Amino acid sequence: MLPHKTFLPIRPAAIIFDFDGVILDSAEIKAQAFAEIYSEHGEEWAAFILDYQRMHGGVSRREKFKHFDKTILGQEPTEERLSFLSQRFTDIVFKKVLSAPFIPGARSLLDAARDHSRLFVVSGTPQEELVEIVRQRALDSYFEIVIGAPTKKHDAFTRILALGLTRETVVAVGDSITECSAALELGIPFLGIRNGPSPTNFPEGVLPLPDLTDATRLLGF
């Protein structure tokens, strides 16, 4: 039996979605982009980069670049380098994300929930880029607020709760430990998505699904 705090409310007042790997099947696109950027430093780093990205999907790309530069190059990146790396990353992934398929069940859940729940996106993707992707994928009409980096997941969830929501009536949906930890710290029920080549091992008590196929029924829509 799941601990009480992880029970999912039926027809929740709000659903907070991560984006890559939860709405769009785009998480692996971004993992591979990090590996491509650092490939000039040796293919031996590829497995390390892919594992780190898959385990820290909700962390902003700038924070990941800081970690990779310090680990691989042994130096702290300058702001100029972080801007360069971030732009290169966008150049690699943007068009691919625009054509990425939906996670199975994602569109059905959005359609079923939109008339009953307030819907939000909280992602580690930079704010302007995230808003543009949501717009170009014709998803903007679903979401009340879209929050991207540099806002941390915990801060974004706190901001959403401040909109008059009771945490027990909200569900956060994500595929990484980053948003899982933020939700559990705030007492928000969490639904874990274990998708892709290295699915996250969520803490005991978190309900994991391979995708969103069963989520519409599970949440009572």
Q: Given this model, what pLDDT does residue 6 score?
A: 59
**pLDDT single digits (tens) 176-209:** 999 999 999 999 999 999 987 778 889 988 999 9
Residue 38: its pLDDT value, please?
A: 94
pLDDT for 89-134, tens place per residue? 999 999 999 999 999 999 999 999 999 999 999 999 999 999 999 9
Best-predicted range by mean pLDDT (6-10, 40-44, 178-182): 178-182
Return the DSSP state at 118: E
Which secondary-structure segment (H or E) carries 136?
helix 127-136
In this structure, the strands spanning 190-193 and 14-17 are unpaired
Report the alpha-carbon distance of residue 208 to residue 38 in Å, rounded. 32
pTM: 0.89
Q: Determine what percent of the chain is predicted with pLDDT higher than 90.
A: 80
